[in-house]
A and B are shown apart, each in its own frame.
Chain A
């Protein structure tokens, strides 16, 4: 018997409320004003190197969070679904004349959703950690397919694709500011959709499956459908994120740009931001994008280049790993919980903070040498 016979799930949390609080609306309004203000005052470096990757990573993290944080199915294949979204959007754009850009993004997302359905099928029979073999299979298989079959990249060398001009409804979004606005619009739209989705019956059935799928089946939730839907919706989000990564952020991408490390990056966005939260991935993505820049600047400013880039990269890895451990140990609900704590202090005098942990009898009291 395994030590913890339960499924890999996140801490049971109270389900999100169906109605928004005034502070939520205030925060949303503040965010919209800030985003617009940034579009006004931002410069090209911030748009291209910080804001666009931040938004795209947040979207990929949001997709992963729907699957892992809400439906409780761990995935290490986020980058594979991003790759399918990117390459499918590219091929739709390339091979169908007059294809609108947004439509090819959506079709890229749908292609990723189909693949997600396919690799989600084993979740019906396999549970827990055995399931990561399925998403890892997707990860390695997709990377191999796009490298091996050059049809997908229009026979370019080593599978590199170049994004077409970003024109939506006759308006060119090719400038850094335009790319930021395009990405912002898509990501915010999908985020609002996700927020409504997790508050709906679908989202609640996902959380029931996450907390214990046998119990969910007993009370009549269609576990089968909930899991597959979670895979499909999550992969759709990741697919659109992949298309934006290729089209709006890099402008060009090769299959190895979507390797396992990218999947880990998305996972870190979710873990640091907060599992089972829609706001979380945005906070996590901001951290993941800004932290290396900050570290780089700090090393340059204080140590004057005494550390070579290779060592700095390794130190960054150590710090990232350490932070992941810190978050898992001290704040498993991530940055989102830290923010909500502040908000709760504003809107309610007392906020009971349940961790949901069930004590194993006799162990918590034990003081061992």
Chain B
């Protein structure tokens, strides 16, 4: 029982990390209908930029500000060069463009900052400790706290600020939002900036855990089943999906993987998501779609 709890909690905390990548994705999908395959590359790009600036001797806050600035520039460039020319194109075109973007970001980040593994030290202690006989890691708890704070900040932005309300209006009905004078390009920039910031936070936490390396961009492949289970357009759904996938994956690896052989955590979340979709095609908290001819 105690072992089960440890695996479960470890999985839930890993799931929080998946959810962080998924949240950036949801932000963009909700406001613009773009299936952003480059979210994982944005995580890698942010983490590599940050770690390279720190390695050149800059203090933490300066590096953070510079990286945030780079993510803002990226969002502006994406809106200008990618989203604007693709207005009213089919969603497949936008997906393919973000796939191209992910190649550009991965190649550029590695060409600029090198492909080796960078260690990232955030100054967060990673002490194991026990609660009721269950072994926990302080770093994972810290990450969970950050994720909770992130969701709270996003909820505040959405509910209280002018741009947040504009984003919600566009997500609800883009044509009506245009009619009342909301500027779509501005909203798109805002959500890409927000997704970039979420990517930066996710990149720092992931990077501190496993080192800043190419595999960070593969987090998008972990985030996909999370999104499917949670629903593409719901932030709480992304969090919930992350927890389900994280826990399910670790439990499967420990209890099923011992019989089938290791490595099932690569495909298990996808099969889980697939089974899930057969029962509920719009995900846990996603909105059902209406078909019109």
Contact = CB atoms under 8 A, between A and B. Distances in A.
A134 interface: yes
A186 interface: no
Contact of B224 (A72, A133, A317): A133
Interface of A: 1-11, 68, 72, 74, 122, 125-130, 132-134, 136-137, 140-141, 143-144, 147-148, 212, 214-215, 218, 260, 264, 267, 271, 310-311, 314-325, 328-329, 332, 357-364, 366, 368
B55 interface: no
B103 A4 contact: no
B90 A8 contact: yes
Given A130-B281, A321-B100, A324-B103, 16 more contacts: A2-B232, A3-B32, A8-B91, A9-B90, A10-B90, A10-B93, A129-B95, A137-B270, A148-B261, A214-B293, A311-B111, A314-B115, A315-B111, A317-B107, A324-B97, A363-B88
B99 interface: yes
A2 B233 contact: yes
B145 interface: no
Interface of B: 29, 31-35, 81-82, 85-93, 95-97, 99-108, 110-111, 115, 170-175, 178-179, 183-186, 221, 224-225, 228, 232-233, 260-261, 263-264, 266-267, 270-271, 273-274, 277-278, 281, 283, 287, 289-293
A136 B106 CA distance: 20
B88 A357 contact: yes
A6 B171 CA distance: 15
A317 to B, nearest CB: 3
A311 B114 CA distance: 8
Contacts of A332: 89, 93
B76 to A, nearest CB: 12
Given A1-B172, A358-B88, A314 B107 contact: yes
A5 B110 CA distance: 36
Contacts of B293: 212, 214-215, 218
Nearest to A2: B33
10 contacts: A6-B91, A125-B278, A132-B224, A133-B228, A315-B107, A320-B107, A322-B100, A323-B100, A324-B99, A363-B178
B185 A74 contact: no
B228 A8 contact: no
Given A322-B104, A363-B87, A214 B291 contact: yes
